Structure 1
Amino acid sequence: MHAFAVPDVPEVRAGDDLAGLVAERVDLADGDVVCVASTVVSKAEGRTASLSDFPAGPRARELAARLSELTGEQKDPRFAQAVLEESTEVLMAAPFLLTATRFGHVGVNAGIDRSNTGGADLLLLPEDPGASAERIREGLDADVAVVVTDTSGRPFRHGQRGVALGWAGMPASRDWRGETDRDGHELSVTVESVVDELAAAANLVSGEGDGGTPVVVVREFAFGDHDGSDRLYRDVGTDFVRQALRGWEYAGR
């Protein structure tokens, strides 16, 4: 397979037709995977916001004061309020806000951006990235898959990498369970998060900062003859890291 950036994508504004912007700039082929940064999806969907939209409540003021004390940097309680309103759960309140979004993603500050916002104070994640991916896919003139991507930190490792927030036109994962390895041993737990791997590959091409290349096409990717799964986010009951974080926060760490 190979990946290439869609050239000359303009600054995206609320109401823009992302599928149309892509179709005007690249000839897509059946089987392509179109990876679209959540930044431009959010802009097209009008997910920009002002800090003044989020007057801080008591919990936000408490969180901001605690973070300011721990980091030595003054934290705006209105930003903490925005994070709370975009989250279903605060998993860790210090030394940063680690939260769960309404669609299941766990990330720092509910994924709210303060860079590449198009001039706004804040850029919120799409409300339903899966639905966003499906709308873009429906607007394209080839039988493609679409993955809405973001960058996210990783437990136990430095740095960030691309991850999938939503997808359409393909399963999220390749399920290898029941297949065998080269020694004939049956695989019992291996489920490969393909949409995350494609998002990471796309991020190598699109880059960070001021690159201005938010759409990447992955061509000639083959899913193969495997079972597929659309499960990406762990159930709360089996997410042992989340449970450990709950205990950590409860202990007042």
Structure 2
Amino acid sequence: MELFPVPDVPEVREGDDLAALVSERVDLRPDDVVCVASTVVSKAEGRFADLDDFPAGPRARELAARLAELTGDEKDPRFAQAVLEESVDLVISEPFLLTETRFGHVGVNAGIDRSNVPDHDLLLLPKRPSESAERIRAGVDADRVIVTDTCGRPFRHGQRGVAIGWAGLNASRDWRGEADRDGRELGVTVESVVDELAAAANLVQGEGDGGTPTVVVRDFEWGDHGESDAHFRDIDGDFVRQALREWRYDP
């Protein structure tokens, strides 16, 4: 398997055709996987916002005041309001805001970005990233597209790439029913392929001002395995989130 960046992608503006920007710069094959950073997807879709777009309500002011008390840093209640409006569930409220977005992704601050947004205060995640991936897929000469983001991980330091939207492939390879090397049947193994490809692409995309937003994965083979589109855990089976609902932060 080979990964390489799409070279010389310009600064993306609202209304730009991401599929055209990719296709003009690289010769794609039908079985390539095109990994596109959510940042440029959001920019093309005009997901910019300013803090004044989010007048703070009582709950946002309460959250900001509590976080300021805990961290010793001033917190803008308008940002807390933006997080609330971009979320369907506030998983924990301190010492940071961990939320579920409308499309099921759980992350800090609803994935709202405050960097690389020169003309606005905020950049919101795409509203429906899998639909975004489908639109890009329709315009490139490749059958598979993943919209990537970076986020932290429970129990580990640092951030890594994850998939928040995908098109043309299933989210997971389902190994259940196959045998291990000793002939034992696998009963629970479902491999999150879109996350693994997103993490691999993130190594090539890079971070900060040297990053490149689009990476092509070539010669990835699915293999003779089952398929699953399960990706974000349902609350009934998410025991960590259930436990967090009962957890209280004790500084």
Q: TM-score, normalised by structure 1?
A: 0.97
> How far apart are 1:199 and its partner, in Å?
0.2
Please provide the CA RMSD for this pair. Answer: 1.1
Matched residue, 1:163: 162
Aligned partners of 2:186 and 2:204: how far apart in 1? 32
Matched residue, 1:116: 116
Aligned partners of 2:234 and 2:198: how far apart in 1? 22
Structure 1 residue matching 2:232: 3-state secondary structure? coil
Give the number of equivalent residue pairs.
251
> How far apart are 1:120 and its partner, in Å?
1.4
Q: Which runs of 4+ in 1 moved over 3 A?
A: none
The percent identity for this pair of structures is 75
Q: Deviations over 1:153-176 (max 9, x none)?
A: 000000000000000000100000
> How far apart are 1:252 and its partner, in Å?
8.3
Matched residue, 2:19: 19
Structure 1, unaligned stretches of length 5 or more?
Answer: none
Aligned partners of 2:32 and 2:210: how far apart in 1? 22
Matched residue, 1:202: 201
Alpha carbons 2:34, 2:142 under 8 Å: kept: no
Within 5 A, what are the aligned runs for 1:1-253?
1-140=1-140, 142-249=141-248
Aligned partners of 2:118 and 2:45: how far apart in 1? 13
Aligned partners of 1:63 and 1:112: how far apart in 2? 16
Aligned partners of 2:25 and 2:238: how far apart in 1? 41
- Alignment-mate amino acid for residue 115 of structure 1: S
Q: TM-score, normalised by structure 2?
A: 0.98
Alpha carbons 2:133, 2:166 under 8 Å: kept: yes
Structure 2, unaligned stretches of length 5 or more?
Answer: none
Aligned partners of 1:245 and 1:77: how far apart in 2? 23
Structure 2 residue matching 1:210: 3-state secondary structure? helix
Q: Deviations over 1:122-170 (max 9, x none)?
A: 0000000000000000011x24200000001000000000000000000
Alpha carbons 1:9, 1:212 under 8 Å: kept: no
Q: Deviations over 1:18-68 (max 9, x none)?
A: 000000000001110000000000000000000000000000000000000
- Alignment-mate amino acid for residue 210 of structure 2: G
Cα pair distance change 1:214/1:143, threshold 3 Å = closer
Structure 1 residue matching 2:89: 3-state secondary structure? strand
